[in-house]
Each structure stands twice: as structure tokens, then as C-alpha cells.
Amino acid sequence: MPGMLSTHFAQLEFERDGEMPDSCVIPYRHLCEDILEPIRSHVGEPLRILSGYRSPSANQAAGGVSGSQHVATADYCAADWWVPTLDMRGVFNWIRLESKLPFDQLILEHGDYNDIIHTSWSTTPRRMALEGATANRTGYQSWPVV
């Protein structure tokens, strides 16, 4: 039975679209411990996980791009999240400009009702910051990262 990936994040939160393979548990643990926990600590509120691991078919059904890091492997993984009470642009800017967190991709996505942040972890983090419509419907704009 899945348990906790970190102090505040349960594995089940990242399995809304199906159970992740055992090989993905360690990458998701890194995502939680190294990136999401520090964000949660900074904002002082829980992060609401909207999507984590996806099988290829679940990714296609969700409108995910080909090669999405939601279709996790032992080398990378991704999650989409938001904090309902916060301006997600401010959180996005803190992560990319001040946090020094080891993210691979950080994407501020604009949906029909609210903004969310896509965050990925990789064994070789690129620290890319992007912004655009959910599922890259309009293409992404690149932002500088410090």
C-alpha cells in the first residue's frame, strides 16, 4: 500500500490518473522532498495536487503533450498543483527568481477557471520557466530563471 512521499505529500495524491509504477516512487519522492515541501513551507499553506503520475493513455485523455513528464520514469516526474487562496503568478515568480529549487520545468498554466503550476523533477534539471495555456494550447512563453 502506498504511503507518504514526504512529510506533507501522500503517494495517493499523485495517483489520481492511475497507480504509478514502483520505479517512479523515488522520482516523486525527490519532487516532494526537494521542491514541493520547500514551496509549501514558503507559502505557508498546503499545495493542492491536481495531477501527478499519468499512464500514456491517461496523459492523452488529459490533453497532455507527447513526451509529458507526467508519464514518469526513473529519471523524471511531474505534478500540477495550485493553492486556492494565493496568486499563482507570485508563487511562480518566487520559485523561478528566488528559490534556487532544483526543478526541471516550471510552467505557469492558465486554465479556464484558475492558474496552476506544473513542476517537474529530473535527474538532470534544466531549470526552465515557461508560461501559457494549460496543455500548451497556445504555446509557451519562456521566462528567465535565477
pTM of this structure: 0.94
How far apart CA 41 and CA 127 sit, in angstroms, is 20
| Predicted pLDDT of residue 16 | 93
How far apart CA 107 and CA 102 sit, in angstroms, is 14
Domain boundaries, the chain: 11-143
| Grid cell in block for residue 142 | 519562456
| Predicted pLDDT of residue 112 | 77
Measuring CA to CA, which residue among 122, 113, 145, 143 is closest to residue 131? Answer: 143
24-41: pLDDT as tens digits: 999 999 999 999 999 999
How far apart CA 130 and CA 117 sit, in angstroms, is 10
pLDDT tier at 137, thresholds 50, 70, 90: low
Report the Cα 94 to chain-centroid distance in Å: 15
| CATH fold of 11-143 | Muramoyl-pentapeptide Carboxypeptidase; domain 2 (3.30.1380)
CB-facing half-sphere around the CA of 23: CA atoms within 13 A = 6
pLDDT tier at 71, thresholds 50, 70, 90: very high
